[in-house]
Amino acid sequence: MSGNPTGFPVAVVGVGNMGGAMAANLLERGWPVHVCDLVPQRAQDLVPLGAVAFSKPAQAAVHCAAVIVCVVDATQCEDVLFGPHGVATVMQPGPMVMLCPTLAPQDTESLARRLAERGIDSLDVPMSGGPARARDGSMSLMVAGADAMVARFEPLLAALSSRVFRISARVGDGARTKLVNNLLAGINLVGAAEVLAMAQQMGLDLGRTLAVIEQSSGQSWIGSDRMHRALAGDFAPRAHMTLLEKDTRLAVQAAHAAGFEGPLGAAARDVFANASAGGLADLDDAAVLQWLSRPRSS
């Protein structure tokens, strides 16, 4: 691929499934990339692709025009940004922090406000689509933040994704949009797992049942993606059960804060919470089929 026309270095802090795929995509497109992760081997794995690995977020951020934060939750964001080795300890006005985790809107707003107090700009940019789409640049990015900042970093956003959705100029709206999306993803996944567990109890062939669903009105992307894994017995965690547990919980909380309560969100939240508590937390969220297929005491 042709090189990056702007040439500015980018740090990716948190190079697990999604962050690692994003970093690899940028490296393939010719961007200079610094990487850092709590698990040092994840960063080292990107060195053969051209990345420069660092052990601390602050080290990775030095001389970078943008720092992509791709960790799990608000606690990890807090440490990456404002901890003893956080990027805010070294960043000067000018570079930008891109917040990509799924967070509560108030947490995104708080982090952005505290960065702004230090003269550091930020964008609220949650992502969706999974590691394969992050790797090939086709994942969805939900961008909220100042128009000037979005325009300035448009080349980076375009390199990361061909599906960039401009949400609003208000930081926090990206987080809100991501929670809306992920709550529906959770509802769809629980629904797909529920009906296959039902089909199993009816004595139906699950592969044939899923094939019908995929070509009929019950189809959903996440249902197809995860249920194929589940039927193959493949529960290696591309997306841990705990991620949708967290995301559905945050989404229901955000709904309550907005004065809305629907019939399905809380039910999906409870399924992921119970499956995690029931011993499936470290498995892929496809294992929700396992959970719903377990015999229930009467």
Instruction: Enumerate the active-site residues.
Output: 178
Whether residue 25 contacts residue 160, with contact meaning beta carbons closer than 8 Å, is answered with yes
Nearest to 129 by CA among 119, 142, 143, 147: 142
Q: Is 125 left (phi over 0), alpha (psi -120 to 50) or beta?
A: beta
Please report, as a single letter, which amino acid is at residue 292.
L
Nearest to 16 by CA among 62, 69, 57: 69
Residues near 297 by beta carbon (within 8 Å), at least 6 away in sequence: none
* DSSP letter for each residue of 97-153: EEE-S---HHHHHHHHHHHHHTT-EEEE--EES-HHHHHHT-SEEEEES-HHHHHHT
